[in-house]
A = this chain, B = another copy of it.
Amino acid sequence: MNGLHLTADLYDCAATALLTDQPALAALCRGQVAAVGLTAVAECWHPFPASPAGPGGMTGVVLLAESHLAIHTWPERAGVTLDVYVCNFGADNSARAEQLLAALVRALCPARQQISRLYRGNPG
């Protein structure tokens, strides 16, 4: 059960088009998951309707054999929150998780970011 859960809260992302383009965002997620050697097993996405504040955001999850990648976008604030959670069943996937998060952050180009690391599933 032990593993690493990374979270990233991204502000003022320059890649604004990605925040409302579900096929492009899903393709980015799938592509980067595969590029770092993690395994996608399912995914689901939900677009939110536009509001007076602007176009609607998206929420999506790629289920991994190693746990999950989640993404939520707030286009009205050019904001994104990301989760990359990997368990280490059979292998230490921490480096892959860090690579995946870094690749997604690079693609989204935030002006500011807050990243946290939580080590989970170790009963001590």
Contact = CB atoms under 8 A, between A and B. Distances in A.
A91 B116 CA distance: 25
Contact of A5 (B7, B42, B61, B79): B7
B77 A72 contact: no
Interface stretch (A21-29, A30-38, A81-89, A100-108): A81-89
B63 A59 contact: yes
Number of copies: 2
A17 B123 CA distance: 22
Contact of A42 (B45, B79, B85): B45
Residue of A42, A64, A68 ringed by the most chain B CB atoms within 10 A: A68
Contacts of A45: 42, 63
Interface in A31-72: 41-46, 48, 59-61, 63-65, 67-68, 70, 72
